């Protein structure tokens, strides 16, 4: 009886919802009374109607699985079985074919000894840019002991002695010295975002000397940045963390920014770890192992940084001692032993703040406005003058 009443209530509710009161009279008491005495056969017919409308649990599960598979197929199958030709990725082609052709033409020319030095002499600052010692010798000669790092080595004598004792072959290798009938083409590979998409990697690898700075990676960027490294200039906090970035590397040269940097180099070469107290003085975590032999390490002579800073002062509106970027220092270093010097990945385009600052990370150009250590505007003027004089060549065209 309770079931009959429940069915009746459903029917009444349905009638009350579906019947518009404006279409005709409401349900009369006699009709309601007749509905109460509805026979059981009508109840069974109603239940059968609902069963035909709704699916069972098993049927519902099967339908859901089929729909899910169909959706995934619609998404994934075109990726593996494309019906139409896929659009061409812009990264498959160089950004500027003219620059690439220019780079190829430079490599096709015959190497001429002392090319950059002869053109450097036309600049007013040439006397400050020539005959600078490149790497420290055992006796520490030529360093300025009246200025602190990176412009000198004041207060670092004991630290330097320990580090040089761990370096079995200090000074510039004979293979990098000028003369001897060997003409050397050098390329300084900057970290600028302009290098991304340049497709200069195969050209860079053809140079006799390839110079890189800090943790600029090679692995994964060979198409644009090349794969070989002759000299990597760096300080402890800027050392690459991946052992793969030391592959095909001839020399790691420490740029001293503080006395503790020399202790770090000694630790890396001798495999004797630094104390926890010493590690606290680095502004970020530093690597404690570099997979190179002791003879592969050098210490950049601080005169390279000091002389570069002196020259930059002539292009800057700032007063005081200039601390150049490693890129500018690397260019001056290359001028000491290279016959031809090319630059790739140089030039900060401050007019486009949203363009990538470096070729290997997502930091944007606007970040350079926050730094106050370097004068990148002065460096750009300096490098432009070197290019205009023909002393160096800009491969990526951002100067």
pLDDT single digits (tens) 97-106? 999 999 999 9
Residue range(s) in the chain whose domain bears CATH number 3.90.1480.20: 97-394
CA atoms of 39 and 33, how far apart (whole Å): 13
- The pLDDT value recorded for residue 152 is 97
Tokens of 321: 């001692």
| The pLDDT value given to residue 321 | 84
| 125: nearest Cα among 308, 304, 306, 302 | 308
Place of tokens 């320990």: 162
pTM of the model: 0.75
Q: Which fold has domain 97-394?
A: sialyltransferase cstii, chain A (3.90.1480)
CA dist 34 and 13 (Å) reads 16
Strand arrangement, sheet containing 297-299: 297-299, 249-254, 229-234, 209-213, 185-189, 340-344, 392-394
The position carrying tokens 């498959």 is 92
Per-residue pLDDT of 174-230, as tens digits, reads 999 987 778 999 999 999 888 999 999 999 999 999 999 999 999 999 999 999 999
Could you list the pLDDT tens digit for every one of the 399 residues in the chain?
Answer: 444 444 444 444 444 444 444 444 444 444 444 444 445 554 454 455 444 545 566 766 666 666 766 654 554 444 333 333 333 334 566 878 999 999 999 999 999 999 999 999 999 988 899 999 999 999 999 999 999 999 999 999 999 999 999 999 999 999 999 877 789 999 999 998 889 999 999 999 999 999 999 999 999 999 999 999 999 999 999 999 999 999 999 999 999 999 999 999 999 999 999 999 999 999 999 999 999 999 999 999 999 999 999 999 999 988 888 899 999 999 999 999 999 999 999 986 656 666 777 888 877 766 665 556 778 889 999 999 999 999 999 999 988
Determine how many CB atoms are found less than 10 A away from the CB of residue 1.
Answer: 5
**How is residue 282 annotated by DSSP?**
S
Contacts made by residues 54-60, CB under 8 angstroms, sequence distance 24+: none
How many H-runs (helices) and E-runs (strands) does the chain carry? 14, 7
Is 343 within 8 Å of 392 (Cβ atoms)? yes
The number of beta carbons lying within 10 Å of the beta carbon of residue 377 is 14
DSSP state of 113: T
Q: Are the C-beta atoms of 187 and 205 separated by less than 8 Å?
A: no
Pairing mode, strands 297-299 and 340-344? unpaired
Separation CA 153–CA 194 (nearest Å): 35
Q: Which of 315, 383, 355 is nearest to 195 (CA)?
A: 355
Instruction: Tally the C-alpha atoms within 13 A of residue 298's C-alpha that lie toward its C-beta.
Output: 23
Cα(12)–Cα(24) distance, rounded to whole angstroms? 16
Show the tokens assigned to 6: 């429940």
pLDDT value of residue 358: 81
Residue 313 CB contacts under 8 Å (≥ 6 apart), including other chains? 321, 322, 378
């Amino acid at each position: 009886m309770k079931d009959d009443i429940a069915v009746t209530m459903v029917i009444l509710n349905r009638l009350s919802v579906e019947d518009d009161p404006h279409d005709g009279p409401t349900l009369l008491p006699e009709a309601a009374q007749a509905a109460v005495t509805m026979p059981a056969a009508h109840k069974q017919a109603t239940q059968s109607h609902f069963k035909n409308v709704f699916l069972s649990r098993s049927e519902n599960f099967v339908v859901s699985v089929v729909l899910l598979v169909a959706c995934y197929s619609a998404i994934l199958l075109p990726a593996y079985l494309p019906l139409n030709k896929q659009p061409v990725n812009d990264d498959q082609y160089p950004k500027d074919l003219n620059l690439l052709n220019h780079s190829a033409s430079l490599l096709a020319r015959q190497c001429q000894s002392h090319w950059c030095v002869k053109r450097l002499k036309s600049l007013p600052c040439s006397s400050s840019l020539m005959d600078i010692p490149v790497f420290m010798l055992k006796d520490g000669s030529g360093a300025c002991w009246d200025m602190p790092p990176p412009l000198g080595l004041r207060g670092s004598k004991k630290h330097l002695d320990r580090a040089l004792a761990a370096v079995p072959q200090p000074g510039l290798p004979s293979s990098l010295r000028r003369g001897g009938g060997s003409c050397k083409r050098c390329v300084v590979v900057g970290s600028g975002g302009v290098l991304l998409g340049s497709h200069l990697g195969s050209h860079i690898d053809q140079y006799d000397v390839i110079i890189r700075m800090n943790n600029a990676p090679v692995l994964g960027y060979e198409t644009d940045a090349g794969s070989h490294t002759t000299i990597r200039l760096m300080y402890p906090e800027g050392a690459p963390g991946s052992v793969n970035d030391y592959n095909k590397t001839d020399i790691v040269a420490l740029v001293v920014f503080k006395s503790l940097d020399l202790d770090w180099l000694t630790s890396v070469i001798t495999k004797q770890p630094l104390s926890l107290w010493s590690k606290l003085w680095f502004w970020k975590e530093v690597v404690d192992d570099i997979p190179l032999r002791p003879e592969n390490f050098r210490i950049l002579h601080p005169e390279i940084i000091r002389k570069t800073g002196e020259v930059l002062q002539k292009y800057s509106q700032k007063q005081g001692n200039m601390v150049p970027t490693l890129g500018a220092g690397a260019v001056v270093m290359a001028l000491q032993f290279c016959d031809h010097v090319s630059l790739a990945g140089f030039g900060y385009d401050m007019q486009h703040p949203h363009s990538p600052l470096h070729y290997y990370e997502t930091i944007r150009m606007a970040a350079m406005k926050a730094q106050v250590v370097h004068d990148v505007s002065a460096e750009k003027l300096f490098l432009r003058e070197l290019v205009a004089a023909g002393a160096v060549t800009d491969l990526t065209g951002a100067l």
